[in-house]
Structure 1
Amino acid sequence: MTLSRQAGLIPIGEIVAREVLPRLRHAQKLPLRISCCGAVGYHGLDDADGFDRMAVIGECPSPKDAMMIANRRVAHGDIRIDTDDTLRFRPRIVIIQDRDLGLVLAGEIRAGIVIWQQPVASDTEARRVVTEASRLRSIAFSASGRGDAASTRDHRARASLLEARLVDPYWRETAADLLRLPRAA
């Protein structure tokens, strides 16, 4: 006697593989950490005397919530690294990372808004971005050796913006969906 599968019944193994395991994997990557990378310096000193610093903004349960918090904090100029009023923090890039420090999304801060960077679409594009960012960092290193602080800072900033597109493969589709413009009805 053979047993036939009735229409509409799905084996438990298929349900676990398709629905349960992806949710568990996603839950393991949470919460998401929001950070801001920027330049720190004291009022009255030359920008060449400044240094880069990372400031943690907070944690969130979803990429959408993280984007909203980052946008709000940047718009209000509410990102500080210290209570010292003479220490000036100029935020440049907002970074959202998962628990494993995989990049979820990143954006450049300009004029009080976050310009979220479109994630790379493939591993091939990621390799091109890494190659170009490495080239820019090499130019920055050469400029640093010549004592050209402005060129060093500029090339490092351009490399960082390129690297902001290197979203972890797990998050690429989610990040692209979040950045997709609403379609007109």
Structure 2
Amino acid sequence: MALAPQTTFAPIGEILARQILPRLRLAAKLPLRVICIGTASYVGADDADSFDRNVALGDRPSLEDATSFAALSVRRGGIGVGADETLRFHPRLVVIQDNDQGLVLAGEIRAGIILWQQPVASDSEARRIVTEASRLRGIAFAASSRGDHNTARNHRHQASLLEACLVDPFWREAAADLLRLPQAA
């Protein structure tokens, strides 16, 4: 009587490669930090006196939790830069970064909601975006040198929106999958 080989056990190398190592890589990149990028200015100041500011909103244990937390923070409003009552903050972007400061997901804030940007699908697409964002930042630098602060800020914002697609390759698939879900829209 011949016995058929057992197929219920996977080789240890396969288990390590497919299950354990990906979990360890993910654990090393957590927690995820949620940051709001915007423009700050003092009450009564003109546009030339405003400045870009990053506000850390908090850390979260997963991508789903980070996006929910970011959406709730934006929806509630009142994101501020500190205790100074004369300092106003206008949020423009939300960024989620991993523990290595890699971009996980980013989106533009409009009318109290976050419009999450679709991650790049390839390295060649990422290179095109970097080129265009660099061009826009150059235009912003020239406008700033002329004293045209509004134009400079708008070009920097456009460059930031492009760069919001430059998701770290580790996170691209997870971010794209999350954006396909109905509740992320």
* TM-score normalised by L of structure 2: 0.94
Alignment of 1:119-158 (within 5 A): 119-158=119-158
SS in structure 1 of the partner of residue 139 of structure 2: helix
Partner of residue 160, structure 2: 160
Residues paired across the two proteins, number? 180
Alignment of 1:1-185 (within 5 A): 6-182=6-182
CA shift at 1:116, angstroms? 0.5
SS in structure 1 of the partner of residue 171 of structure 2: helix
SS in structure 1 of the partner of residue 170 of structure 2: helix
Alpha-carbon separation, structure 1, partners of 2:144 and 2:84 = 29
Percent identity, aligned pairs only, is 64
Alpha-carbon separation, structure 1, partners of 2:45 and 2:78 = 23
SS in structure 2 of the partner of residue 100 of structure 1: coil
SS in structure 1 of the partner of residue 36 of structure 2: strand
CA shift at 1:85, angstroms? 1.4
Alpha-carbon separation, structure 2, partners of 1:31 and 1:125 = 28
SS in structure 1 of the partner of residue 99 of structure 2: coil
Consecutive aligned runs of 4 or more in structure 1 exceeding 6 Å deviation: none
Q: Which shows bigger deviation, 75-84 or 36-45?
A: 75-84
- What runs of 5+ residues in structure 1 fail to find an aligned partner? none
CA shift at 1:5, angstroms? 5.0
SS in structure 1 of the partner of residue 94 of structure 2: strand
The one-letter amino acid paired with 2:40 is V
CA shift at 1:55, angstroms? 0.5
RMSD: 1.4
CA shift at 1:181, angstroms? 4.2
* TM-score normalised by L of structure 1: 0.94
The one-letter amino acid paired with 2:47 is D
Could you report, residue by residue, the CA deviation over 1:62-85 in whole angstroms, capped at 9, with x for unpaired residues? 111100000001011031111111
Could you report, residue by residue, the CA deviation over 1:131-153 in whole angstroms, capped at 9, with x for unpaired residues? 00000001111111111111111
